Amino acid sequence: MLYILTSFLFLIGLFGIITQRNLIKIIISISIVENAVNMFLVIAGYRNNGIAPILTSEADKAVITAQSVDPFPQAMVITSIVIGLSVLALMVAISLRLYHTYGTYNIDEIIKKQKERS
């Protein structure tokens, strides 16, 4: 069920990226896609009735490997969140610069004004 939810969220974001002509709406759609991928990675590493992957003694090693949740997707998601935040800041900065240069967030208008300048 959760995989269907993340797939649906991913498709909503992808639809927004493809169909929207406003830069702000495209940035929001990219953020939705990023969050859907992060949710998918967290769900992929989840295990029902799982325990934290913390090794306290050598005797716990077999129990930890058999019952713990996978920490690798969680680490990937944390890294992805940090990278995604910096990419989001860069996209917003570029879109603000385009707005100050062309006076609009519409991609078609920006392309038309760019062709007029050339």
Question: Domain residues for 20?
Answer: 2-117
Rounded CA separation 21/104 (Å) = 11
pTM: 0.84
- Say which amino acid occupies 58: E
Per-residue pLDDT of the chain (118 residues; tens, 9 = 90+): 889 999 999 999 999 999 999 999 999 999 999 999 999 999 988 878 877 777 777 667 777 777 777 788 889 999 999 999 999 999 999 999 999 999 999 999 999 999 998 7
- φ, ψ (nearest 5 deg) of residue 51: -115, 165
| Domain count of the fold of the chain | 1
Rounded CA separation 67/48 (Å) = 9
CATH of the domain at 26: 1.10.287.3510
HSE-CB at 61 with a 13 A cutoff on CA atoms is 3
Number of residues assigned to the chain: 118
Q: Residue 49's pLDDT is what?
A: 80
The number of angstroms, rounded, from the C-alpha of 69 to the middle of its chain's C-alpha atoms is 22
